[in-house]
Amino acid sequence: MEKTHLKHKHGAPKILNYSVLIVSDTRYLEIEEGKKSTDMTIPVIKEILEKNKQNFISFQIVPDENLKIKEVLLQLIKDKTDIIITSGGTGISKRDITIETIKPLFEKTLEGFGELFRYLSFKEIGSSAMLSRASAGIINNRIIFCLPGSPNAVKLALEHLIIPEAGHIKKMMKE
Amino acid sequence: MEKTHLKHKHGAPKILNYSVLIVSDTRYLEIEEGKKSTDMTIPVIKEILEKNKQNFISFQIVPDENLKIKEVLLQLIKDKTDIIITSGGTGISKRDITIETIKPLFEKTLEGFGELFRYLSFKEIGSSAMLSRASAGIINNRIIFCLPGSPNAVKLALEHLIIPEAGHIKKMMKE
Amino acid sequence: MEKTHLKHKHGAPKILNYSVLIVSDTRYLEIEEGKKSTDMTIPVIKEILEKNKQNFISFQIVPDENLKIKEVLLQLIKDKTDIIITSGGTGISKRDITIETIKPLFEKTLEGFGELFRYLSFKEIGSSAMLSRASAGIINNRIIFCLPGSPNAVKLALEHLIIPEAGHIKKMMKE
Amino acid sequence: MEKTHLKHKHGAPKILNYSVLIVSDTRYLEIEEGKKSTDMTIPVIKEILEKNKQNFISFQIVPDENLKIKEVLLQLIKDKTDIIITSGGTGISKRDITIETIKPLFEKTLEGFGELFRYLSFKEIGSSAMLSRASAGIINNRIIFCLPGSPNAVKLALEHLIIPEAGHIKKMMKE
Amino acid sequence: MEKTHLKHKHGAPKILNYSVLIVSDTRYLEIEEGKKSTDMTIPVIKEILEKNKQNFISFQIVPDENLKIKEVLLQLIKDKTDIIITSGGTGISKRDITIETIKPLFEKTLEGFGELFRYLSFKEIGSSAMLSRASAGIINNRIIFCLPGSPNAVKLALEHLIIPEAGHIKKMMKE
Amino acid sequence: MEKTHLKHKHGAPKILNYSVLIVSDTRYLEIEEGKKSTDMTIPVIKEILEKNKQNFISFQIVPDENLKIKEVLLQLIKDKTDIIITSGGTGISKRDITIETIKPLFEKTLEGFGELFRYLSFKEIGSSAMLSRASAGIINNRIIFCLPGSPNAVKLALEHLIIPEAGHIKKMMKE
């Protein structure tokens, strides 16, 4: 999309550190029960970060539970991570509580991320884009992106919105 | 727009039940005073639902008053209705209070509906799209769409966002 | 963009009164210290308003401080101003507090302005559009647009969203 | 307590209309299952109102469910009731949701009622007074008192706070 | 009450600056219409401050209107005032909007002031104490006390809560 | 105070587990710099719990920083702790942020604790009681009491409100 354009604007891409938090009862249970993980999001994130010369620091998997999500998120915020990606729990079913859990912790909300993510999704998948409640915000000088659980959604957000702006965001938050 | 695309994605369309709540002092007074209704939204909704083989269950007309809107809405939520459409009271004049009245009752807010509705409106009618505060959210496993009072706006929302996703939404909320 | 279209829709443009509030520590200090102002936004606003036969009433420059912003804003709201434009302090750095300061004063929030502004910005500048928290809302029958500090952003908002709808908004708020 | 004192202050007591809403899964199930009600609060309320020459209009029993409470409350608000008393669901267990349900509907909250009710309870029953979240507020020119489910608590609130001030409140809200 | 006790605790009383904001349509109209003011609160405040060797800086009278209250309050916050007293508009009638207007501006709310004020009022006037929504909070290192419009209420708050703690508060806010 | 009375009411006291979180820049720095701690609150808490045959599980000391407080609190919530006591940071100076940090995490707020604590403090120390913002609330079936940093305040809260009700609270939250 706007990639060539953005490369010019921000100069050489900065190398930043990314941590990932998968929010999913299903994925969590697979691990608890020693089963093979059916997660397809982590490999997609790793591949995109590698291709863009970004650092993948760590991932963790938590169930759809308010306190577990908060606890891991607050640990990540103390780490050397620059960007935190959560994936899963942004839909409209009762178990989807990632947004309800994380949004009240944001010091600043970045409404524009959710809007443009849904606009780009709409171009790709049509009206079901409106069912995602993807959001982004700032806690303690780190930016948190709450993405849906599907690999395609994560790819769209990373390639078209997050990675092109990550260096820019880091610079702004230092000011 | 994305219609062909969406038909493939969701398989055969589900038949759902729709109820309509017209919010308008003018329409309400016409009925109170025994005059002929000048409403042009209900026929449009009926026609679109029929064409798409959806069930139109009922409509009610209430004035722009907080407690009357809440009371009818809470009745509809107990009915066999799957989707509740309100029409009117989403603008910026002092009498427009539909959004102020209904939004605090949402258990989950679907920001994406308002955003994509305004994006699609912008394509059709230009900058005045920004004056609509159309919203959607979930109360008690039912989804409520708060639409403007104009037949064109209602048509746009139903054909491009609500009907294509209605079956999908119902399935997700059962999970 | 939609300009020809909108001219037809709203008839002859209305002449309205605009006041401007620049929110910027840097610009404020320049004045305090008797230096030449490096502001490039005010001339852009003046020129666009003139070209569109709108009245530029006044401008003021305040630092990025909660109480100073509120105080000047509340003075403007008592004036004969129809439209208040703030410029600056909508980004994500710690000093950016315009949105945090003004949003809680809104009687109605116009989500659609921020959304469509970011959509139009995205078309122009790509993903960095998501970093702006531009917003609009209503206080005491006046509409306040909180824009970024860059001349390009202000130009985009004025030409494509604010001026085409200003007459429409004023009419609606009288109802 | 302050009774003699208050009688002097407000002159002859006004006769007002009271409706009661019992919020309790247990009481609701007794009725559903055709069992004898074990409720002991309604007779206490009736007796106190009678003794004070106040009108007991009606009572209803609902389970501890958000939407059922809201629906009955909104019906009562349209009736000729002056004062609405809810009893039950003000404690700290998970099922206690009366306060969470009703407080967001208050146009004005009367913090003083809860405070003085707990102060008076503390004098009677000691520290467990702090576990009640009794509240009062105003919706549509009616005052709603949310009381605990115990007959003693209801008696304390009615005799020492509600009945002495009811006429005063009604007069003030007309102003 | 606790006065002797408090004198010991805080040592020699500090001399602070007080400004007063009377919020009342009636008082405001009297002035507008050139009538003799029927206000009885300002003389009471002046006398108490004088007796306690505190500085009375200024008073202003505004109607019960959101924007006028906010505007004067924000001016006072820039002055050399230490303590701001508002009087009036804390009751439960529709015109009483002082609390709704000022509370959202508080950086910190001092719940304890309202609670103890109502407890002391209850001891003096009985149950009608619960109808006052008196509050206190902090904006920009100044403390604002929102008191009822009656001279007795103002006297109670000043003598038993505000003046004994004023020096203490000022010292704490500098830390 | 009401102690004899309460012993009768709740039967034999239950033995519960208590954890303590001291919130204080000063205490935290003493430890960081290897100095002798000047804390006088922990010994008071230990002694009172011992005298009342309650279990003191652990204490931690954190600086007055939002994220550090949240992180330790969320760890305690996963432990076998029944009651969490925080001490410090409840005053009105800029560094006092315990209440701002913890209150948004409460699932239920127990207004009655703060009210009755301030009422009892008022009886002991007079008007300065109003400067404490002590609060209590529930997160994940645990009750958190946010107390001031002074040994006297902690003693008052534990002996007159927390310990007498602890068993009662635990029982209610299981229901």
CA proximity to B5, closest of A149, A124, A115, A130: A124
Is E92 within 8 Å of E61 (Cβ atoms)?
Answer: no
Residue F7 confidence class, pLDDT cut points 50, 70, 90: very low
Q: Which pLDDT belongs to residue C170? A: 86
A168 shares contact with chain C (CB less than 8 Å):
yes
Average pLDDT over residues D120-131: 97
Residue F78 confidence class, pLDDT cut points 50, 70, 90: confident
What is the greatest pairwise CA distance in chain E? 48
Minimal Cα distance from A10: which residue of C? C128
Alpha-carbon distance of F87 to F156, in angstroms, equals: 13
CB-side neighbour CA atoms (13 Å) of F15: 7
Q: Is B6 in contact with A130 (Cβ distance < 8 A)?
A: no
Taking CA C117 as the corner, what is the angle to CA C116 and CA C119, rounded to the nearest 5 degrees? 60
Query: Which of C2-11, D162-171, E90-99 has the weakest average pLDDT?
Result: C2-11
Q: How many CB pairs under 8 A join B and C?
A: 76
Phi and psi based region of residue D35 (left: phi greater than 0; alpha: psi -120 to 50; beta: remaining): beta
b or e along F28-64 (b: 16 or more beta carbons within 10 Å of the residue's beta carbon)? Answer: bebeeeeeeeebebbebbeebbeebebebbebbbbbb
Average pLDDT over residues A48-65: 96
**Contact yes or no, D with A (3+ CB pairs under 8 Å):** no
Residue B128: which of C111, C136, C168 has the nearest Cβ? C168
Rounded to whole angstroms, what are the CA distances from A60 to B82, C97, D54, D90, F70?
37, 33, 63, 39, 20
Does C83 map to a domain? yes
Taking CA E27 as the corner, what is the angle to CA E26 and CA E31, rounded to the nearest 5 degrees? 115
Does B13 map to a domain? no
Structure tokens at F108: 């239920």
Q: Identify all chain A residues contacting C127, using CB atoms and an 8 Å cutoff.
A: 2, 6, 116, 160-161, 164-165
Alpha-carbon distance of E114 to B41, in angstroms, equals: 50
Instruction: Kindly state the percentage of chain A with pLDDT values over 70.
Output: 92
Is D166 within 8 Å of D106 (Cβ atoms)?
Answer: no
Cβ contacts of residue A21 below 8 Å, gap of 6+? A59, A60, A61, A62, A69, A72, A73, A76, A84, A85, A86, A87
Residue A172 confidence class, pLDDT cut points 50, 70, 90: confident
Average pLDDT over residues D94-122: 96
Q: Identify all chain B residues contacting D66, using CB atoms and an 8 Å cutoff.
A: 140
Residue F172 confidence class, pLDDT cut points 50, 70, 90: confident
Query: Mind telling me how many Å the CA of D121 is from chain E's nearest CA?
Result: 13
Q: Is B130 in contact with C112 (Cβ distance < 8 A)?
A: yes
Residue A9 confidence class, pLDDT cut points 50, 70, 90: very low
Q: Which pLDDT belongs to residue E79? A: 83
Average pLDDT over residues F35-61: 95
Query: Which of B1-5, B61-65, E6-10, E76-80 has the weakest average pLDDT?
Result: B1-5
Q: Is F172 in contact with D100 (Cβ distance < 8 A)?
A: no
Rounded to whole angstroms, what are the CA distances from C101 to C17, C74, C89, E105, F5?
23, 12, 10, 10, 51
Alpha-carbon distance of F47 to F53, in angstroms, equals: 10
Q: Identify all chain C residues contacting E71, using CB atoms and an 8 Å cutoff.
A: 71, 74-75, 78
Which chains have at least 3 CB atom pairs separated by less than 8 Å from chain B?
A: A, C, D
User: Residue holding tokens 């103390």?
Assistant: A78
Q: Which pLDDT belongs to residue A59? A: 95
D133 shares contact with chain F (CB less than 8 Å):
yes
Q: Which pLDDT belongs to residue B13? A: 55
F95 shares contact with chain E (CB less than 8 Å):
yes
CA proximity to B128, closest of C152, C124, C11, C2: C2
Alpha-carbon distance of D117 to D160, in angstroms, equals: 9
Q: Identify all chain D residues contacting F142, using CB atoms and an 8 Å cutoff.
A: none
**pTM of the shown model:** 0.91
Per-residue pLDDT tens digits for B39-89: 999 999 999 999 999 999 999 999 999 999 999 999 999 888 999 999 999
Does B138 map to a domain? yes
What is the greatest pairwise CA distance in chain C? 48
What ipTM did this prediction achieve? 0.90
Residue A71: which of F66, F74, F104 has the nearest Cβ? F74
E36 shares contact with chain D (CB less than 8 Å):
no
Q: Identify all chain B residues contacting C145, using CB atoms and an 8 Å cutoff.
A: none
C157 shares contact with chain B (CB less than 8 Å):
no
Point out which residues pair with B108 in neighbouring strands: B138
pLDDT at F8 over 80: no
Which residues of chain C have a pLDDT value below 70?
A: 1-13
Structure tokens at E78: 């820039």
Query: Mind telling me how many Å the CA of B158 is from chain A's nearest CA?
Result: 11
Average pLDDT over residues A105-125: 97
pLDDT at E6 over 60: no
Minimal Cα distance from C69: which residue of E? E74
F128 shares contact with chain A (CB less than 8 Å):
no
Phi and psi based region of residue A126 (left: phi greater than 0; alpha: psi -120 to 50; beta: remaining): left
CB neighbours (10 Å) of residue C139?
Answer: 20
F108 shares contact with chain D (CB less than 8 Å):
yes
Task: Collapse the DSSP code of B80 into the 3-class scheme (helix H, G, I; strand E, B; otherwise coil) and give the result.
Answer: coil
pLDDT at D174 over 80: no
Residue B119: which of C113, C119, C172 has the nearest Cβ? C119
Query: Mind telling me how many Å the CA of F119 is from chain D's nearest CA?
Result: 8
**Contact yes or no, A with E (3+ CB pairs under 8 Å):** no
Rounded to whole angstroms, what are the CA distances from A8 to A5, C125, D11?
6, 11, 81
Strands A17-23 and A83-87: parallel
Q: Identify all chain D residues contacting F165, using CB atoms and an 8 Å cutoff.
A: 127-128, 130-131
CA proximity to B67, closest of F58, D70, F85, F28: D70
**Contact yes or no, F with E (3+ CB pairs under 8 Å):** yes
Q: Is A172 in contact with C93 (Cβ distance < 8 A)?
A: yes
Q: Is C127 in contact with A111 (Cβ distance < 8 A)?
A: no
Minimal Cα distance from C2: which residue of B? B126
CA proximity to E153, closest of E130, E139, E168, E134: E134
Q: Identify all chain A residues contacting C131, using CB atoms and an 8 Å cutoff.
A: 110, 112, 165, 168-169, 172
Q: Which pLDDT belongs to residue A13? A: 55
Q: How many CB pairs under 8 A join A and F?
A: 24
Q: Is C127 in contact with A9 (Cβ distance < 8 A)?
A: no
Q: Is D126 in contact with F5 (Cβ distance < 8 A)?
A: yes
First-to-last C-alpha distance (Å) of chain A = 29
Cβ contacts of residue B91 below 8 Å, gap of 6+? B131, B132, B133, B148, C172
Q: Which pLDDT belongs to residue D87? A: 98
Does C7 map to a domain? no
Q: Is F129 in contact with E138 (Cβ distance < 8 A)?
A: no
Q: Which pLDDT belongs to residue A6? A: 36
Average pLDDT over residues F164-175: 86
The residue segments making up the domain with residue C121 are: 18-174
Does B3 map to a domain? no
Point out which residues pair with D19 in neighbouring strands: D58, D84
Per-residue pLDDT tens digits for F106-138: 999 999 999 999 999 999 999 999 999 999 999
Q: How many domains is chain E partitioned into structurally?
A: 1
Q: Is E140 in contact with C67 (Cβ distance < 8 A)?
A: yes
Q: What is the DSSP letter of D162?
A: I
Does E42 map to a domain? yes
**Contact yes or no, A with B (3+ CB pairs under 8 Å):** yes
Alpha-carbon distance of B26 to B87, in angstroms, equals: 13
Handedness of CA A102, A103, A109, A110 (dihedral sign): positive
Rounded to whole angstroms, what are the CA distances from F173 to A101, D95, D96?
22, 10, 10
First-to-last C-alpha distance (Å) of chain D = 29
The residue with greater pLDDT, E173 or F35, is F35
Structure tokens at F129: 């009681």
**Residue A53 is which amino acid?**
K
B67 shares contact with chain D (CB less than 8 Å):
yes
User: Residue holding tokens 């230096």?
Assistant: C35
pLDDT at E159 over 60: yes
Residue E92: which of D9, D119, D138 has the nearest Cβ? D138
Structure tokens at D2: 């302050």
Task: Collapse the DSSP code of E146 into the 3-class scheme (helix H, G, I; strand E, B; otherwise coil) and give the result.
Answer: strand
Q: Which of B105, B107, B144 to mutate: most D Cβ within 10 Å?
A: B105
Q: Which pLDDT belongs to residue F64? A: 97
Q: Which pLDDT belongs to residue A79? A: 83
Minimal Cα distance from F140: which residue of D? D94
Alpha-carbon distance of B73 to B77, in angstroms, equals: 6
User: E49: domain CATH number?
Assistant: 3.40.980.10
Average pLDDT over residues E33-55: 95
**Contact yes or no, A with C (3+ CB pairs under 8 Å):** yes
Q: Is C156 exposed, middle or buried (0-12, 13-18, 19+ CB in 10 A)?
A: buried
F51 shares contact with chain D (CB less than 8 Å):
no
Q: Which of D115, D127, D128, D133 to mutate: most F Cβ within 10 Å?
A: D127
Task: Collapse the DSSP code of A97 into the 3-class scheme (helix H, G, I; strand E, B; otherwise coil) and give the result.
Answer: coil
Strands A83-87 and A142-147: parallel
Cβ contacts of residue F156 below 8 Å, gap of 6+? F117, F120, F121, F124
Is C90 within 8 Å of C99 (Cβ atoms)?
Answer: yes
Cβ contacts of residue E121 below 8 Å, gap of 6+? E129, E132, E153, E156
Alpha-carbon distance of C135 to C133, in angstroms, equals: 6
Q: Is C139 in contact with E74 (Cβ distance < 8 A)?
A: no
Residue E78 confidence class, pLDDT cut points 50, 70, 90: confident
Does B6 map to a domain? no
Q: Tens-of-pLDDT digits for all 175 residues of chain B? A: 333 333 334 444 589 999 999 999 999 999 999 999 999 999 999 999 999 999 999 999 999 999 999 999 999 998 889 999 999 999 999 999 999 999 999 999 999 999 999 999 999 999 999 999 999 999 998 999 999 999 999 999 999 999 999 989 888 887 7
Q: Is F125 in contact with E9 (Cβ distance < 8 A)?
A: yes
Q: Which pLDDT belongs to residue F13? A: 55
Point out which residues pair with D55 in neighbouring strands: D17
Task: Give me the phi and psi of E16, to 5 degrees please.
Answer: -120, 165
Alpha-carbon distance of B115 to C145, in angstroms, equals: 18
Does C69 map to a domain? yes
Is E137 within 8 Å of E169 (Cβ atoms)?
Answer: no
Query: Which of B79-83, B152-156, D131-135, E17-21 has the weakest average pLDDT?
Result: B79-83
Q: Identify all chain F residues contacting A77, using CB atoms and an 8 Å cutoff.
A: 67
Handedness of CA C8, C14, C15, C17 (dihedral sign): negative
Taking CA D139 as the corner, what is the angle to CA D137 and CA D142, rounded to the nearest 5 degrees? 85
User: Residue holding tokens 């004070």?
Assistant: D52
Q: Identify all chain A residues contacting C112, using CB atoms and an 8 Å cutoff.
A: none
CA proximity to F74, closest of F88, F54, F60: F60
- State chain F's mean pLDDT as an integer: 91
Quote the distance between the C-alpha of residue F25 and its chain's center.
18
CB neighbours (10 Å) of residue A50?
Answer: 11
